[in-house]
């Protein structure tokens, strides 16, 4: 259980890894917007998005198989939405039985959209550690300080939660073993029975989490923690030429998508 | 010698009825290595929390370098000077990367970025964990994690290091690692150490031992003085360190060796001497 790496971060040194986390988050949002901008049935726009993902993957030193693996997790959702489109879309010409040409096109369209979005988001979590993402979000949210939103506390809660995920996974493992040693049965019975069997795992986990929180608070107090006032940051994020290049590439993608949309419109006319 | 820590007539109770600490008084000199021993429930962990103001004494006074731990205003100054390392290393680490965790304390003090970097270098070097700077603590052993926790406290440059049962959850190897680091800090960096423990063999190294029972200091003195009172210790549920047990057993059998032997080396020497005599 120890090696569960949350957020599937792939630690290596690369162009994309060294980019500023804030920029990466913003660029991924821009990329997702780009994917949504692709007008209906204009598949060339998706081609541009795919090209973008491929270029980004090459620059990130992450093997393609790692990136593609992410689709496995949402395969069910993809197939499900494709089936709904294929069998229940009634508009367009009927090709065979109840399947229409528009249904097929729509299915392909949705599959491409979901896949591309997931590939992009995966690339972010593969190249940016959870801590960097938390820090990036804190920095991006910092204007909210002016409306009295506790940005620092929010980010600290987030990073402590991330820090404790492996610790708590270990703990769950230990509790399950302890309960099994006393004859608890987690494997048989229907879904309801199995869910009920988890109660003796969750309650000790909850209690020990409270104790951990208490001890952590003491340790933080002892290390002079007093909120965000007068606090400095050791890690500073700074923009480099890499971020500029990433920005240019993403801007290029969006222009490309818009241009290709227009290109189709011209073809139709 | 300068008294760096003063505890005067401190009493404390969690529920206003049962006193966990009763009228405790002691002083600690700069650079001293003190061991506070007592069995479970003797009040020793409560005492640790009193020393840096996590808990405030109901009556009496705790002062660190003339700053009172009672006063909200000077609390920060007290905590800057008294670093506490707790029992469970997992529950003390704040960040998912070693250097970020060590940086947590200095960041709280509002120290410049460049100096934080230097302090991380210093603290990790002092505990011998330089090569783990960029590693996630979840991948480290218990002893290593506890050394990172010590580094996190050292980065505050404390004058007093309080170890509240910091070795209790570690395996023998981890315990040895931590004790070696603490000993080195005491000798080389002149950090004052207050080690709270129920392992008697950890107290052997101390300059002075305080024995707590039911919230009161019942004995105090050098390890030799304290361990010579084996019977009294046993009465309050504390066993002598193994070497001392062997020595008192040998004396009972009629061997002519000194009562105040604390380490294996001393015992070996005494036995060799005895052999030569006969």
Contact B91 A159 (CB under 8 A): no
Terminal CA-CA length for chain B:
45
* pLDDT for res A7: 52
pLDDT at B116 over 90: yes
Contact B111 A235 (CB under 8 A): no
If one counts the domains in chain B, the total is 1
How far does A231 lie from chain B, in Å, by closest CA? Answer: 5
* pLDDT for res B266: 85
Neighbours of B109 (CB within 10 A): 21
Contact of B211 with B217, CB cutoff 8 Å:
yes
Q: pLDDT tens for residues B158-195?
A: 999 999 998 888 888 888 888 999 999 999 889 999 99
Report if residue B76 sits inside a domain.
yes
The full set of domain ranges for chain A reads 8-128+239-268, 140-222
Cα–Cα distance, B162 to B193 (Å, whole number) = 6
Cα–Cα distance, B211 to B231 (Å, whole number) = 14
Which residues of chain A register pLDDT less than 70? 1-8, 41, 264-269
pLDDT at B260 over 50: yes
- Three-class HEC string of B180-207: HHHHHHHHHCCCEEEEEECCHHHHCCCC
Contact B91 A215 (CB under 8 A): yes
How much is the average pLDDT of B88-99?
90
User: Residues 6 or more apart from B44 whose CB is under 8 A from it?
Assistant: B36, B37, B38, B196, B198, B212
* pLDDT for res A257: 83
Query: Taking phi first (over 0 means left), then psi (-120 to 50 degrees means alpha), and beta for anything else, what does residue B254 get?
Result: left
H-type alpha helices, chain B? 44-51, 75-81, 98-109, 113-126, 142-154, 172-188, 200-203, 223-227, 230-235, 242-252, 264-277
Contact of B222 with B201, CB cutoff 8 Å:
no
Which domain, by its residues, includes B91? Answer: 3-223
Which of B161, B170, B169, B132 is CA-nearest to residue B148?
B132
Place of tokens 């790496």: A5
Which CATH number do you get for residue B33? 3.40.50.300
Report if residue B190 sits inside a domain.
yes
Report if residue B17 sits inside a domain.
yes
Contact of A223 with B153, CB cutoff 8 Å:
yes
Report if residue B257 sits inside a domain.
no
Report if residue B272 sits inside a domain.
no
A219 in reach of chain B (CB within 8 A): yes
Cα–Cα distance, A228 to B107 (Å, whole number) = 10
* pLDDT for res B136: 84
A114 in reach of chain B (CB within 8 A): no
Report if residue B252 sits inside a domain.
no
Contact of A44 with A155, CB cutoff 8 Å:
no
- Would you call A105 exposed, middle or buried from its count of C-beta atoms within 10 A (0-12, 13-18, 19+)? middle
Cα–Cα distance, B241 to B199 (Å, whole number) = 8
3-class SS of residue B273: helix
Contacts of B103 in chain A (CB under 8 A): 234-235
Contacts of B91 in chain A (CB under 8 A): 211-212, 215-216, 219
């Amino acid at each position: 259980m120890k090696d569960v790496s949350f957020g599937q971060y792939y630690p290596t040194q690369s162009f994309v890894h060294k980019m500023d986390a804030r920029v990466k988050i913003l660029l991924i949002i821009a990329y997702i917007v780009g994917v949504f901008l692709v007008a209906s049935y204009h598949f060339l726009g998706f081609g541009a998005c795919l090209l973008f993902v491929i270029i980004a993957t090459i620059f990130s030193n992450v093997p393609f198989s790692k990136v593609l693996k992410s689709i496995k997790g949402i395969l069910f959702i993809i197939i499900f939405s494709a089936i709904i489109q294929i069998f229940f879309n009634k508009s367009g010409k009927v090709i065979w039985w109840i399947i229409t040409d528009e249904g097929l096109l729509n299915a392909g369209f949705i599959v491409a959209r979901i896949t591309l979005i997931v590939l992009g988001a995966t690339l972010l979590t593969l190249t940016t550690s959870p801590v960097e993402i938390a820090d990036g979000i804190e920095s991006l949210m910092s204007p909210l300080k002016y409306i009295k939103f506790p940005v620092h506390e929010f980010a600290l809660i987030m990073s402590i939660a991330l820090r404790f995920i492996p610790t708590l996974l270990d703990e769950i493992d230990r509790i399950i073993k302890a309960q099994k040693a006393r004859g608890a049965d987690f494997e048989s019975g229907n879904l309801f029975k199995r869910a009920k069997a988890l109660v003796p795992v969750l309650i000790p986990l909850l209690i020990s989490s409270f104790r951990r929180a208490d001890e952590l608070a003491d340790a933080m107090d002892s290390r002079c923690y007093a909120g965000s006032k007068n606090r400095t940051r050791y890690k500073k994020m700074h923009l480099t030429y890499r971020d500029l290049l990433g920005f240019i590439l993403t801007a290029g993608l969006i222009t490309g998508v818009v241009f290709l949309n227009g290109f189709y419109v011209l073809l139709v006319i | 010698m300068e008294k760096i820590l003063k505890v005067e007539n401190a009493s404390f109770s969690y529920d206003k009825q049962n006193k966990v600490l009763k009228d405790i008084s002691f002083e600690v000199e700069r650079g001293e290595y003190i061991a506070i021993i007592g069995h479970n429930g003797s009040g020793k962990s409560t005492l640790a929390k009193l020393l840096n103001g996590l808990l405030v004494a109901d009556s009496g006074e705790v002062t660190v370098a003339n700053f009172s731990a009672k006063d909200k205003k000077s609390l920060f100054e007290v905590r800057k000077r008294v670093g506490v390392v707790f029992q469970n290393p997992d529950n003390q680490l704040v960040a998912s990367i070693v250097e970020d965790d060590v940086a947590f304390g200095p960041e709280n003090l509002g120290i410049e970025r460049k100096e934080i970097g230097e302090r991380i270098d210093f603290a990790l070097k002092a505990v011998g964990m330089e090569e783990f700077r960029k590693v996630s603590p979840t991948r480290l052993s218990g002893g290593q994690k506890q050394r990172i926790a010590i580094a996190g406290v050292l980065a505050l440059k404390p004058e007093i290091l309080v170890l509240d049962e910091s070795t209790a959850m570690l395996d023998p190897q981890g315990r040895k690692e931590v004790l070696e680091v603490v000993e080195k800090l005491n000798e080389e960096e002149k950090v004052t150490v207050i080690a709270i423990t129920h392992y008697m063999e950890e107290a052997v190294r101390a300059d002075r031992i305080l024995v707590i029972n039911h919230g009161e200091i019942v004995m105090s003195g050098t390890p030799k003085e304290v361990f010579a009172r084996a019977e009294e210790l046993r009465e309050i549920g504390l066993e002598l360190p193994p070497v001392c047990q062997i020595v008192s057993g040998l004396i009972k059998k009629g061997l002519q060796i000194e009562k105040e032997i604390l380490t294996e080396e001393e015992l070996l020497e005494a036995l060799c001497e005895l052999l030569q005599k006969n």
